[in-house]
Structure 1
Amino acid sequence: MLLMDLIAEIRRRHLVRHESISSIARDLKLCRQTVRRHCRTEAQPSYQRSRQPTPMLGAVQQTLETWLRTEGLLPKAQRRTAQRLFEGLQAEGYRGAYDSVQRFVRRWKADKSGPALAHAFIPLAFAPGEVCQFDWSHEHVELGGVMQTIKVAHFRLTFSRQMFVVAYPRETQEMVFDAHNRAFAFFGGVPQRMVYDNLKSVVETIFTGKERQFNRRFMVLANHYLFEPVACTPASGWEKGQVENQVGNIREWLFTPLARFISFDALNVWLATRCRELAQRKHPVTPERSIAACFAEEQPSLRQITATFDGYVEHMLRVSSTCLVAVDRNRYSVPAAFAGRAVSVRTSAAGVRIVADGAIVADHARRYGRDQLICDPWHYLPILERKPGALRNGVPFQQWDLPTPIRLVRDRILKQPKGDRAFVELLMMAREFGLEPLQVACELVLDGNVITAAVVLNEMRRLVAPSTPAMLNVPDMLKLQTEPRADCGRYDHLREVSHVIH
């Protein structure tokens, strides 16, 4: 019998039927004091458990408190759980139960967390297109068969709860710019405000209250898209609680179990697809509608994108004598004419551009990792013209992936006397007209018996020679009525005149 049922029966038998307390106690097998107390009970009784003693924990309690105080200063992700603390205490000689450690840790954290009011919050509501929250997280994936720790940029529209995530190898400013370009393209517009942590790529200086000095280059992004940046109070994650909660959900939904992809491009295509699929879930505030339906309502309120922001970070670097600039532990080639000069290097999430004299002189796809050499052989061709011997051992030319006919002809020509200089002449002509005429010329030469640079050069000139102009249709009024005839005798007359003069 439940407690309240028992109390109700005791009160009815004593107060209504006037049955004695002794009779009720004998019948229900209770002591008279209990029956007498229940006769006076009207509300549901509540019991509070007294603090359970932990005699086994007493010897190591001071050690445990020291650990909790020390780890309380660390980020939450670096603090040990009660289970890990229990294992540490066992190494210190503790022989008690895990439950004692768990209760002590819970009670200690509750005592240190302060009054409940400090953890009370007010529910918030946002207008369509008003606010979007941003945050980073790190996840573990397998890319190309290699385990990697990647950075994931999270965006969350606060009205519709529509999310967007994109992965990068690092958390640099150019990645922030590229993530915004992708997110605004995914949303189909720009919100009025963007809410951030105080990350260095966004905020340079934190002042009192909400006053911030934002990064100048980041403000160029904000000015381009015309949104207002807002920085949270330090260590106040609840100010952008939606995206903070999204980080944990995305880790559970998309990265557990381990995600495996060939490249970042394949991973990001899959992440964008999953964001659309997850939008079919119910909206947390209006469960009768889906997130996708709320997003369709919010999208017209977003500011339309007129142009994509050119999200690069610029550095002034000097080109080395080997025509290279070092960017993020990798080296990229620059045309030989700029060796020893200072150039502007613009790095974005996808590429590296080298600018000199107001023009882009080199453009490379960005590589990640370390100590990689990215060379464009055309950048070294002027040097090769003066030093043709470098054709055989020059790193840019060893890595050059030429079409098969050109490689076959090159190998034959390099075996001939002064073959390196002869093949360089072919490359100089190919620089002007492209590799396609050289490839066709090499295919024609390989069909014959004679393979020399002179024959290839002759075929190239024939291929690139201007075609014969078509005959013009001349109106009748412009045609000569009497066409002149060729008269070689006139030259004999000139000879006679010349003889007379002498």
Structure 2
Amino acid sequence: MVLDPYRWAELRRFRGLLDAGVMSGSEIARVTGLDRKTVRKYLAAPGPVFPPSRVPSGRSRRRLIDPFAPLVDAMLRAGPAMKASVIHERLVKEYGFTGSYQRVKVYVCDARARIAGELGLEPGELAGMHRRFEVVPGAQAQVDWGDEGRILAHVGIAKVYSFHMTLSYSRDPFCCFTTGQDMRTFFDCHHRAFAHFGGVPMTVVYDRTKTVVRRHVAPGEAVPIHPQAAGFAGHYDFDIDVLAAHRPTGKGRVEWQVLIVRDHVLSGRSFSSLAELDAAFVSWVPLRRAQRHRTHQELIGERAARDHAALKALPPSTYVVAERCLRPVGKDCLVAFDGNLYSVPAGRVRPRQLVEVRATKSRVMLHATHPDAAGVTLLAAHARAPDHGVWVVDERHWDGLPTGQARRTTTGETRTAPRTARGPRQQVRTLKDLLNQSPAVDIEVGRRPLAVYEELTRNGPSRQPPNPQEPS
């Protein structure tokens, strides 16, 4: 068998692997789709072997991929970053291609650059390349979430998440574990991270999480920051850096940390609480800081010391993160928030009125959207319920509402007293008083024999009946 230039270029890449003993001739033959005798012939020959580029007849050898080349070019024009494995899969499934994946990969390697030139695309747009950057100590930290799943399901905790912050200069890590990703929890984790590092970096890098970004915008437009995130960053004096959409490599240092913590802290262990998870990470941190990082080739702990020294000092007060939202008031003067019900004063609200809920970690405050005559908007303040399905009610908020204490029932067996004379100003207020004005027991009823009614029945209704008041 005589190899064409494409197959020879593909095969000679394995010469180094064969010489180093990494791969055998049979493995190379299996990967390339060639006969092992052909592999042995071309890779075992001393010195470079250059196969003829033409067959003895003088014509170029036709490759299996050549009839499908226009299809591959069309796929690359539609999706310049399409993987060769995807193209091979579609060629086999939809067009009956019988060649190996390696044949498609070699062709796509050359065709991709040619198609990119036709479309006027930069090489980085095809390969997903990114610019490596380095920062000075204290300049940047990166934040990300990790989903740890049902690691504590056996103790009744359905879902566990890991919060990660990494200092970009030293790669010094911080991690803590939570049961939610709401805004209050998100910035509470920031408090813990800043305390762990002993200061605040100049910039924190986020992806487009809803706790930082108010809404998504088109590429190239300014990203609107959530007011709570802007207030938190202003209090701690750091800048918010939001990545472009679908660019996770912009915070690859913390992305790697999520995987490292899973492998070195969580893998192969069992835990019974969030506190045990946090303690396991804290005990691992000295091991991490004693390692030499493969990128900057220094001990992480030594660079972390310089990183910590350059951080900004923590402010004297803690920023109180309050969730804010509008909720309607029910007819029962209760407002639903976070799966619980909180009361508001009945005299200051009306049904379906919108009130603003401002919730912190421990308190829930309910405010009117407009101040009253005294300029006050606060309607009620409650301790935050620790669980869901709880009623948090101040009984004074229901003052003035019917209590139901005036409702009464009777069987009618008790005989009422005879009617007494009422003064001119006495009024009938209830149905019972109205019925007692002329009790039936006080009326004299005439008595007649049944013969009288029989007489009326025989003679017809035209005959006048006797006066019922006359004695019979």
TM-score by length of 2: 0.54
Say whether the 8 Å CA contact 1:331–1:374 is kept in structure 2. yes
Question: Does 1:153 pair with 2:171?
Answer: no
1:127 to 136, 157, 161: 136
1:284 to 294, 314, 333: 294
Deviation at 1:386, TM superposition (A): 8.3
* 1:141 alignment partner in structure 2: 150
* 2:303 alignment partner in structure 1: 294
Deviation at 1:156, TM superposition (A): 1.2
* 1:28 alignment partner in structure 2: none
* 2:358 alignment partner in structure 1: 346
Give 1:73-222 correspondences, 5 Å limit.
Answer: 100-101=100-101, 104=104, 108=108, 112=112, 122-145=131-154, 148=158, 150-203=160-213, 204=215, 206=217, 209=220, 211-222=222-233
Give 1:43-58 correspondences, 5 Å limit.
Answer: 45=48
* 2:394 alignment partner in structure 1: 379
Q: Between Structure 1 and Structure 2, whose CA radius of gyration is higher?
A: 2
CA pair 212-332 structure 1, distance change in 2 beyond 3 A: same
Deviation at 1:248, TM superposition (A): 3.4
SS of 1:214's equivalent in the other structure is: coil
Structure 2 CA distance for aligned equivalents of residues 186 and 360 of structure 1 = 36
Q: Deviations over 1:48-95 (max 9, x none)?
A: 99999669xx99x979x989979979xxxxx9x969x97x99999989
Deviation at 1:383, TM superposition (A): 6.0
1:315 to 325, 331, 337: 325
SS of 2:150's equivalent in the other structure is: strand
CA pair 320-126 structure 1, distance change in 2 beyond 3 A: same
Say whether the 8 Å CA contact 2:344–2:379 is kept in structure 1. no
Q: Deviations over 1:211-268 (max 9, x none)?
A: 44322221111111111112223333333232233333334334545x6544545544
RMSD: 5.1
TM-score by length of 1: 0.51
Say whether the 8 Å CA contact 1:210–1:232 is kept in structure 2. no
Structure 2 CA distance for aligned equivalents of residues 240 and 316 of structure 1 = 34
Q: Percent identity over the alignment?
A: 21
CA pair 288-237 structure 1, distance change in 2 beyond 3 A: closer
1:327 to 337, 358, 364: 337
Say whether the 8 Å CA contact 1:196–1:229 is kept in structure 2. yes
Structure 2 CA distance for aligned equivalents of residues 165 and 260 of structure 1 = 18
SS of 1:317's equivalent in the other structure is: strand
1:361 to 373, 381, 392: 381
Say whether the 8 Å CA contact 1:334–1:361 is kept in structure 2. no
SS of 1:194's equivalent in the other structure is: strand
Give 1:401-416 correspondences, 5 Å limit.
Answer: none
Say whether the 8 Å CA contact 1:332–1:364 is kept in structure 2. no
Structure 1 CA distance for aligned equivalents of residues 236 and 226 of structure 2 = 16
Deviation at 1:131, TM superposition (A): 0.8
Say whether the 8 Å CA contact 1:335–1:362 is kept in structure 2. no
* Equivalent position amino acid for 2:187 in 1: F
- Residue ranges of structure 2 left out of the alignment (5+ in a row): 1-14, 17-41, 54-60, 117-121, 368-376, 406-472
CA pair 49-139 structure 1, distance change in 2 beyond 3 A: farther
Say whether the 8 Å CA contact 2:204–2:241 is kept in structure 1. yes
CA pair 136-321 structure 1, distance change in 2 beyond 3 A: same
CA pair 379-278 structure 1, distance change in 2 beyond 3 A: farther
Comparing both structures, which one devotes a greater share of its residues to helix?
1
* Equivalent position amino acid for 1:299 in 2: H
Deviation at 1:275, TM superposition (A): 4.3
SS of 1:155's equivalent in the other structure is: strand
* Equivalent position amino acid for 1:130 in 2: A
Say whether the 8 Å CA contact 1:156–1:243 is kept in structure 2. yes
Structure 1 CA distance for aligned equivalents of residues 110 and 390 of structure 2 = 56
1:231 to 239, 242, 257: 242
Deviation at 1:132, TM superposition (A): 0.9
* Equivalent position amino acid for 1:238 in 2: T
Structure 2 CA distance for aligned equivalents of residues 214 and 131 of structure 1 = 18
